[in-house]
Chains A and B, each alone.
Chain A
């Protein structure tokens, strides 16, 4: 009996080991790690880590900044980001970028600014050698707005390109009726719904990259290294999921001779401690995330730099739960934002003075956030209504906040015994910000605040159900125009979680979307943001403008756009 049992056990063990080894055969686990690749002695391998495994790198369905960064290295749009001589921060190795023609040789715009005609370059080819044609954009854009694709950015062309709204939102038209057509292989015509001053910039966006129908259609695995066909500077040569993505130059790219790294290895990790350790150990050359408490020492060692980033961290103040605008205004101005950015976030963030993030420009090139006054949109209207209030100091803001709050209580608009629930998704930083805001509201206004953290999926579900008093969110601009923010708070917008509604505001946004860029449109947008922070308003409380931190050593000639993308295709080893 013992022998039989021993035999069975031995068989079980063999089975287990066999199961392990048989699964192992096609797995990449036997592949050498990137650092062990037999690279030539003078090969430049750039090791970077900007995030964990991307959900997807499918051009039509990506929505994350990291996924878009990988796409920006593999594909090239009609327009592209090209490095300038300007530095975004004090890092001499990092350069700002500007949008210039990419796969397009040139473009023309009709007099009414409704029709854009792009002429493609003659020397553009896919990585398999086939020429890039105008139809590749037609296919890709139709695929994006097709409801069956269920793309995160399916709404991106709504109200901009002709019929996009009817196709994606209403489902009343076929994707083939989108306002984009190939006049011939090298000429692409795009018709808009109305003039759009930021349309050219959109033509560099990752979700609007061209795609080859014969590569993508019917192949769910078209993004795998063995299937993918690209038209940009780099192509994936290897992808070990949850470990790294390796890219090598695409020799069919028209500027292949001038590319930098012989290999770019994007390591995929979400552990800040582990990422920093790898950087400190010399295994990574460039990282984007690390523990907050290390920022100071990394800055002093000359490793860490802080770039501008077009994004706003803000709180929704639910207009149903906090119906008095005076209470919402009091809450908005009684928070010490300087304390939050200096002691909580510590990443060089800028205290917010409006909803539209700093870095968004008006038609004259002025920073929209400070276009009307240095005080910013939150305080412009209040400073006119309460001229005696000193809104340049925190003490002065607190004084006015208390006055507004007391007025609301005296008028019976607010019961001071009400407890407000402040929801945030689980994160040490969000928690610390919530505690700082709650502390200020309690000490300055005497409000009752309850903090509740929830994991992400539960939290976002609650946002959609408007089940909160206060709730946080961050919004990174999709393109450089105030509309990317202001549109969010229009009545009925899916992101208007605080249920704000003002016909004047809605009319101003609709008006601005219907006319071309210029002084008149600027005035409408400035007026709209003033309405947002005027009587009846304050549905959101901007806290700070984001920054983008990174650590880099041993590399130069990197590119950056304040939309959050880093570009490594022309990077070089630093001397």
Chain B
């Protein structure tokens, strides 16, 4: 297990290096410059390029990025917050924490509500309750996040005045409600659908029939046997979606005026703020890699038949 984890960490570092190189060449391949404005001149752009070392050959710039990253220096922003260290922008200004908070809470809500809903639907298959949940979850995955966010904003904040329009730094309970609802609703519905499908699949397995034949109570069959096996697809889905929730929080962060990393990730690409693009990509890639590792280990816990290393075969 330890060897496996170390190997995966080594592979993760190599993956991050490859991601850095690809991101670097892609962001330099698209036209534009961080210094372009309606009033910028070629003279200004040339001076700014020289000031920030963008006039050097690409391979030298890439080497500088790698060397600086190894020293823990993520560079300075060229456009979004000109001259500010990128590490400060991502970590010390609280952007990463805000997005992680939003993402993890939404994910927890998706799991805590979505899985039981899927179980209830499967347990009551064919009844009105199953029908209701199926309609609700289908509608839930069809509604775009920005529509739900705008609806919540217009109704709960602007009309009823029960919640603040500006969630800002997420400092009180009220400021969490609408962003979390907007972000998690899709995932609640998707996880519920996924759980229901895999639960129905598990219920038809031989070992469930054996359990029934032995007289085990239905509740016990669902909770102890069927649920455990039906969680594999859900766990597979949750790993990559964690990073997706953070990078995909652009709409929610914009609508509720939350200064998180998701919004920043999109804006830095539009602004060609190269050091910020590079750093956010690396940080989020590291998060995806870490979550994939967590998922692989979680497989093993949920299903002992799964092996992680050759030695265990």
Interface residues of A (CB under 8 A from B): 1-2, 4-6, 8-9, 12, 20, 23-24, 26-33, 35-36, 53, 55-56, 58, 61, 63, 147-148, 150-152, 154-155, 168-169, 220-221, 240-244, 267-271, 273-274, 277-278, 280-281, 283, 455-458, 460-462, 464, 473-475, 494-495
Contact = CB atoms under 8 A, between A and B. Distances in A.
Contact of B33 (A241, A461, A473): A461
Given A23-B97, A271-B254, A457 B33 contact: yes
Contacts of A464: 42
Contacts of A151: 44
Given A152-B44, A494-B41, A241 B259 contact: yes
B1 A53 contact: no
B109 interface: no
B32 A461 contact: yes
Given A23-B96, A271-B254, A53 B80 contact: yes
A2 B301 contact: yes
Interface residues of B, number: 71
B283 to A, nearest CB: 11
A287 to B, nearest CB: 12
A461 B171 contact: no
Contacts of B300: 5
Nearest to A270: B254
Contacts of B94: 23-24, 27-29
6 contacts: A33-B171, A241-B81, A243-B168, A268-B259, A455-B270, A461-B31
Contact of A33 (B39, B169, B271, B298): B169
Contacts of A495: 39, 41
Contacts of A241: 81, 89, 93, 95, 259
Nearest to A239: B93
B301 A9 contact: yes
A55 B44 contact: no
Interface string B46-87: 011011000000000000000000000000100111111000
Given A33-B171, A53-B80, A56-B82, A20 B100 contact: yes
Contact of A274 (B42, B170, B257, B294): B257
A460 B79 CA distance: 15
B272 interface: yes
A47 B172 CA distance: 20
A28 B83 contact: no
Contacts, number: 185
A274 B255 contact: yes
Interface stretch (B7-15, B151-159, B226-234): B151-159
Nearest to B90: A23
Contacts of A32: 171
A546 B195 CA distance: 55
Interface of B: 1, 5, 30-44, 47-48, 50-51, 76, 79-84, 89, 91-98, 100-101, 150, 153-154, 157-158, 161, 164-166, 168-172, 175, 254-257, 259, 263-264, 270-272, 290, 294, 297-298, 300-301, 304
A169 to B, nearest CB: 6
A271 B298 contact: no
A273 B147 CA distance: 12
B40 A152 contact: yes
A6 B153 contact: no
Contacts of B84: 221
A150 B164 contact: no
Nearest to B76: A220
A168 B154 CA distance: 51
Nearest to A493: B41
B232 to A, nearest CB: 16
Nearest to A31: B169
A280 B270 contact: no
Contacts of B271: 457
B36 A33 contact: no
Contact of A12 (B1, B91, B264, B294): B294
Contacts of A169: 43
A242 B258 CA distance: 8
Contacts of B153: 273-274, 277
A24 B97 contact: yes
B291 to A, nearest CB: 10
B98 to A, nearest CB: 7
A281 B255 contact: no
B161 A28 contact: no
A27 B166 contact: no
Contacts of A30: 171
B80 A29 contact: no
Contacts of A269: 166, 254, 257
Given A150-B51, A274-B153, A280-B158, 20 more contacts: A1-B1, A12-B290, A20-B97, A27-B92, A36-B171, A55-B79, A150-B44, A152-B39, A220-B83, A221-B84, A241-B259, A242-B263, A243-B169, A269-B257, A271-B257, A281-B164, A457-B30, A458-B32, A460-B40, A461-B31
A310 to B, nearest CB: 14
Contacts of B39: 63, 152, 495
A140 B18 CA distance: 44
A56 B79 CA distance: 8
A242 B259 contact: yes
Nearest to A147: B47
A211 B42 CA distance: 27
A273 B169 contact: no
A461 B36 contact: yes
A283 B257 CA distance: 13
A457 B158 contact: no
A281 B31 contact: no
Contacts of A494: 41-43
A240 B165 contact: no
B150 A5 contact: no
A107 B154 CA distance: 55
A457 B36 contact: yes
B64 to A, nearest CB: 18
Contacts of B36: 456-457, 460-461
Contacts of A270: 254
Contacts of B93: 27-28, 240-242
B107 to A, nearest CB: 12
Contacts of A456: 32, 36, 270
Q: What 5 A-B pairs have minimum CB-CB distances, sorted nearest first? A: A457-B32, A242-B259, A27-B94, A494-B41, A29-B94
A168 B47 CA distance: 10
> Of A155, A277, A475, which is in contact with the most chain B CB atoms at under 10 Å from its CB?
A277
A12 B31 CA distance: 41
Contacts of B42: 464, 494
A155 B40 CA distance: 10
B5 A150 contact: no
Contact of B95 (A1, A242, A475): A242
Contacts of A462: 31
A29 B43 contact: no
B25 to A, nearest CB: 17
A243 B84 CA distance: 16
A148 B51 contact: yes
> Of A12, A55, A63, which is in contact with the most chain B CB atoms at under 10 Å from its CB?
A55
Contacts of B5: 8
Nearest to B168: A33
A464 B161 CA distance: 49
A330 B77 CA distance: 46
A197 B93 CA distance: 45
Contacts of A63: 37, 39
B208 to A, nearest CB: 23
